[in-house]
Amino acid sequence: ALNRGSSRLFVSWSAEGIPLNKIKNRDNGIEVRSSLTDRKGKSVGQKIERGTALISTITIKPLAKNLRNVTVIIPLPAGLEIENPRYSEGGEALPPFVRSEARDDRLLLYIDRLDKKLDWKFVLRAVTSGTFDVPQISSECMYDPAISSVSGGGRIEIR
């Protein structure tokens, strides 16, 4: 911005996105973890055949106290898509205190109260060949962002 007048000009700029470099894993009052397995529960590792259905398990655990208004953000690597649970096996019904929102590039969970460990599973399918970064997942209390967790990350290859 160019100020051509005599008054002060105040400018603000912000940007957001997924960092290029991995953030150090941390658990501050809450712990969030994810794992990928095949339908039989066997870990799939980093090399996956295109067309394979995968089970993603998200584990959220309070570390100190009962938590309220927890969000979990699960960004998906390119090459994987969330399967509609109405058309596939393996997805689980959510407890009444959890809501989910599936988007093209991520899954969001909203948890009203978290007083014990919660495991939730959903089905992904490997749809595009290539090597892809796996973004880290994160969780935080909406009204107390100091209570937060970041974990995971890596790479997968879909053949």
Q: What is the pLDDT of residue 20?
A: 73
Is residue 52 included in any domain, yes or no? Answer: yes
Is residue 15 included in any domain, yes or no? Answer: no
Is residue 86 included in any domain, yes or no? Answer: yes
Is residue 117 included in any domain, yes or no? Answer: yes
In this structure, of 4-8, 13-17, 46-50, 152-156, the range with the lowest mean pLDDT score is 13-17
Indicate the number of domains in the chain. 1
Question: What six digits make up the tokens of 71?
Answer: 């969000």
Domain of residue 127, residue span = 26-158
Instruction: Tell me the pTM.
Output: 0.81
Q: What is the pLDDT of residue 129?
A: 97
Whole-number Å distance between alpha carbons of 121 and 110: 15
Is residue 43 included in any domain, yes or no? Answer: yes
Residue 73 belongs to domain with CATH number: 2.60.40.690
% the chain with pLDDT above 90: 65
The tens digit of pLDDT for each residue in 71-112 reads 999 999 999 999 876 544 545 555 668 888 989 899 999 999
Is residue 16 included in any domain, yes or no? Answer: no
Is residue 5 included in any domain, yes or no? Answer: no
Is residue 14 included in any domain, yes or no? Answer: no
